[in-house]
Structure 1
Amino acid sequence: MVRTNLCGGADRSNNFMSVAERFTAETAIFEQFPVSDSLGLSSIMAIDEVNVAFATESGFVGVGNSSLVKWTLKVSTGKGYVASGMCRDTAGNVYCVSTTGYMIKISPDGIMQWRKRLLSDHAGPIIWLDLLSVKDGIVACGDTSLFKVDFAGNVMWRQDRGSTPVRTISADMNGNLYASHSMREIGGTDTLLCYNPEGRVRWKAVLPFVRLTTQPLVHKDRIFVGGQRMDNGRKTPALFCFKDEGTKCWEKILTETPRFLSSDEASLYIVSSEPRIAEKARTLVMGYTHDGIKRWHVYVSAQAVAPLLVSKSNIGLLAKHEQSAADFFLFDKEGVLESQFSFAEKGNSDQADFLPIPTVLNGSTIALPCKNKSGVVAVQEKRGLLF
């Protein structure tokens, strides 16, 4: 099976049960890649049991591991580079977008198939969201423009909006797309939009006095999104559930603002936090049913920096504490803490060592691209080298 998207799939559920039986955090291993510059501008993408796709600071994309890089390809001219998540189609072709405004398709053996300009970078580098692979094309969002490009490099449609969606675009099994369009201000009016596969707005949920703070998460025929509602001058954190035809199912008041959503068949996992000084940082992790019933909650004394990851047997959270080092927390699926792994205790105390965007590799290892080195940090059980 070809893994085509980051975040556990097009539904953006952060569910890795198909490749991860159980997360284990016993050691952190630095794996040096035989390339000349840093991998720490975008997330890495699992290709198979031993290889990952990566992007470098100097504008190269490659596939390989610390033992052997199979190929690298210069995909951007000048000072351009790839700074957003890549994706693949079911044939294994790799797609990426550069800060200079181009989308590039690369064959599994590293041959550029085409290079298509989507946006001009005259006003500065283009900020892209992670790419999304669907059955008939690739979805890209640069600045405030949303594109769908077919596998031959033709732009199928383009939508220009007044705001950049929050975090990522999501898709359901029918190819409908979901985006949280936020004005990024308290007390404004944000919108959850559903686009059909042809790029037309299928429905929109206008949310007055709401600021959306998470990506939409798709679970079967339900769409979940988190935010803050302004009520009588007070911010009230909330979780919203919609049916896939646009009807609002329910709204739940939360105690802290949702930042990340994850899901499996049994539970919806909510990672919430509020801005606090580093010494008082904390994160609230909650387990809900998909019908909006709270099952459990747990606090950790650290600031979550990435979505909660879901394996078959447990869940994992990457967070930062007051020393600016990272910790990795493992819980069972009832919220009971199994273990806490501290990078500071293991000699990786510099938070700048890696980008806090975890990728789950086949076999349950969690890998993070290094910001200032040409390699990855792998969190795993004590069993020697990753590759």
Structure 2
Amino acid sequence: MIKNLYILYSICLTIIINGCGSSHNSSELASVLQQCSSGGASRANNFMIVADKFSAETAIFEQFPVADSLGLSSLLPIDEVNVAFATESGYIGMGNSSNIQWIIQISNNKGYIASGMCRDKSGNLYAVSTSGYMSAIDPLGKLIWKKKLLHANKGSIIWLDLLSVSDGIVACGDTSIFKVGFDGKVIWRQDRSSIPIGNISADAHGNLYSAQSINISGGTDTLVCWNPEGKLRWKATLPFIRLTTQPLIIDGKVFVGGVRIDQIAKTPVLFCFGDNGAKCWETMIKETPRFLSADDSMLYLVCSEPRISEQARSMITGFTLNGHKQWHVYVSAKAAAPLLVSKSNVGMLAQHQESASDFFIFNKSGVLESQFSFADQGNSSRTDFLPLPAVLRGGSIAFPCSDKSGIVAVQAKKRFLF
């Protein structure tokens, strides 16, 4: 099961934040927290409100006092001292390595928690399981409701995304997308005949965006926008394009990476679309785009190509929001998650062919500031973690451990997390 979980989470890569600097009050904190999946509803992976700067001087392991030998599957930071966590055996809890405030089982052995968790403005937690259920839990750990969304007729449901927006929870399972109200009622549902719906992005108005790929060379992919009521706003049809990143929303613009494939050549491309679905620009890049992140003025694109006999390699490129390339760097490792963006630098988890993990930190001009090797510090032999970074207040980056009920965190110096 652990191996299957790793593969599933390598696909969906739910990135989560705790959402607030010390100057924000509780209502502002809740407003940020409700857009907590995959680096915010816009999918920008921008953690500047949480972290001034990332550091990778050391890594620590902290065991949670939970009797669950199967380990954790996802994390969601709640405040300065607590995180919500899901286990691979169907439990959700809240607490830290010193104290567990509550824990509740919402799924049995027939279905584990999938695609991370999200949180609304009232602090309620939401999760989906591979048995097809969505569950809502209040801040004190009481189950509010449990709703069957999909029937697992042919095996476990593969949930690829879970997102909290202002008027409900959006979930993507197999070839269906749901919007569920905070009361558990399904507001609307969209079904695709055969194309899985992956990551969903949202803008400030509650419109939803999806890059839908048939994953076939020379095929036609689509970029789709729905309004908050689930009605189609627009659809951009892209012949001979295979979309390879999630859509990213900034100031009414939609950015997405892909590859143009015809009989002659394969050309990696970064696209920008307007609010009406019209293409604003496209720019050619050197390798296939995999992950896309952004801050207020820059796009950060992580690219790589499959390499069988050669050493793994990733290319990181900085673009202006108008598509002008500013810099690029190569790292001799395969990126395992999108770039995380702080106020002053960016961080990336990457893996070598021998499965050892490194964490790279660059300034926003592409200059390498530091590189941390988990293998050199002995952390790889101590515990295995999933590539699902959760950015804690202050800039520590935590990963759920798949073989123990605890977390591994990368930070500036050895100190307790909580």
Q: TM-score, normalised by structure 1?
A: 0.97
2:197 matched to 1:165? yes
SS at match of 2:380: coil
CA–CA distance in 2 between the matches of 1:38 and 1:201?
45
Contact 1:324 1:351 in 2 (8 A): no
Kindly provide the amino acid, as one letter, of the partner of residue 415 in structure 2: G
Residue 340 of structure 2 corresponds to which residue in structure 1? 309
Change (3 A) 1:210 1:303: same
CA–CA distance in 1 between the matches of 2:152 and 2:221?
27
CA–CA distance in 2 between the matches of 1:278 and 1:265?
39
Runs of 4+ in 1 over 3 A off after TM superposition: 38-42
Q: What is the aligned residue count?
A: 386
Kindly provide the amino acid, as one letter, of the partner of residue 27 in structure 1: T
CA–CA distance in 1 between the matches of 2:142 and 2:382?
35
Kindly provide the amino acid, as one letter, of the partner of residue 172 in structure 1: D
Cα deviation for residue 322 of structure 1 reads 3.1
Change (3 A) 1:38 1:318: farther
Cα deviation for residue 233 of structure 1 reads 3.6
Q: Kindly, what percent of the aligned residue pairs are identical? A: 63
Residue 242 of structure 2 corresponds to which residue in structure 1? 211
1:150-174 superposed Cα distances (whole Å, 9 cap, x missing partner): 11011000000131134x1100000
Cα deviation for residue 76 of structure 1 reads 1.1
1:337-357 superposed Cα distances (whole Å, 9 cap, x missing partner): 000001011102359710011
Identify the match of residue 96 of structure 1 among 121, 127, 142.
Answer: 127
Residue 184 of structure 2 corresponds to which residue in structure 1? 153
Kindly provide the amino acid, as one letter, of the partner of residue 79 in structure 2: D
Identify the match of residue 42 of structure 1 among 67, 73, 77.
Answer: 73
SS at match of 2:115: coil
Change (3 A) 1:196 1:38: farther
Kindly provide the amino acid, as one letter, of the partner of residue 352 in structure 2: H
Change (3 A) 1:142 1:327: same
Identify the match of residue 265 of structure 1 among 280, 283, 296.
Answer: 296
2:223 matched to 1:195? no
CA–CA distance in 1 between the matches of 2:167 and 2:298?
30
Contact 2:42 2:248 in 1 (8 A): yes
Residue 211 of structure 2 corresponds to which residue in structure 1? 180
Range 341-350 or range 307-316, more displaced: 341-350
Residue 29 of structure 1 corresponds to which residue in structure 2? 60
Residue 85 of structure 1 corresponds to which residue in structure 2? 116
SS at match of 1:206: strand
2:282 matched to 1:239? no
Kindly provide the amino acid, as one letter, of the partner of residue 147 in structure 1: F
Residue 12 of structure 2 corresponds to which residue in structure 1? none
2:328 matched to 1:297? yes
Kindly provide the amino acid, as one letter, of the partner of residue 209 in structure 1: F
CA–CA distance in 2 between the matches of 1:223 and 1:42?
30
Residue 135 of structure 1 corresponds to which residue in structure 2? 166
SS at match of 1:86: strand
2:59 matched to 1:19? no
SS at match of 1:11: coil
Change (3 A) 1:181 1:105: same
The structure that is helix-richer by fraction is 2
Change (3 A) 1:40 1:208: farther
Contact 1:308 1:316 in 2 (8 A): yes
Identify the match of residue 287 of structure 2 among 251, 256, 259.
Answer: 256
CA–CA distance in 2 between the matches of 1:38 and 1:133?
30
Cα deviation for residue 301 of structure 1 reads 0.6
Residue 22 of structure 2 corresponds to which residue in structure 1? none
CA–CA distance in 2 between the matches of 1:56 and 1:368?
13
Q: Aligned-residue CA RMSD in angstroms?
A: 1.4
Kindly provide the amino acid, as one letter, of the partner of residue 268 in structure 1: L
Contact 2:73 2:402 in 1 (8 A): no
Cα deviation for residue 234 of structure 1 reads 2.1
SS at match of 1:7: helix
CA–CA distance in 2 between the matches of 1:260 and 1:41?
24
Unmatched segments (≥5 aa) in structure 1 = none
Cα deviation for residue 78 of structure 1 reads 4.0
Cα deviation for residue 41 of structure 1 reads 6.0
Contact 1:40 1:354 in 2 (8 A): no
Contact 2:73 2:88 in 1 (8 A): no
2:68 matched to 1:68? no
Cα deviation for residue 61 of structure 1 reads 0.7
Kindly provide the amino acid, as one letter, of the partner of residue 13 in structure 1: A
1:229-263 superposed Cα distances (whole Å, 9 cap, x missing partner): 11334221111110122111011111100000000
Contact 2:211 2:246 in 1 (8 A): yes
Range 147-156 or range 350-359, more displaced: 350-359
Contact 2:302 2:317 in 1 (8 A): yes
1:275-323 superposed Cα distances (whole Å, 9 cap, x missing partner): 1137511100000001000011000011001000000110001001233
CA–CA distance in 1 between the matches of 2:383 and 2:268?
31
Unmatched segments (≥5 aa) in structure 2 = 1-28
CA–CA distance in 2 between the matches of 1:77 and 1:384?
36
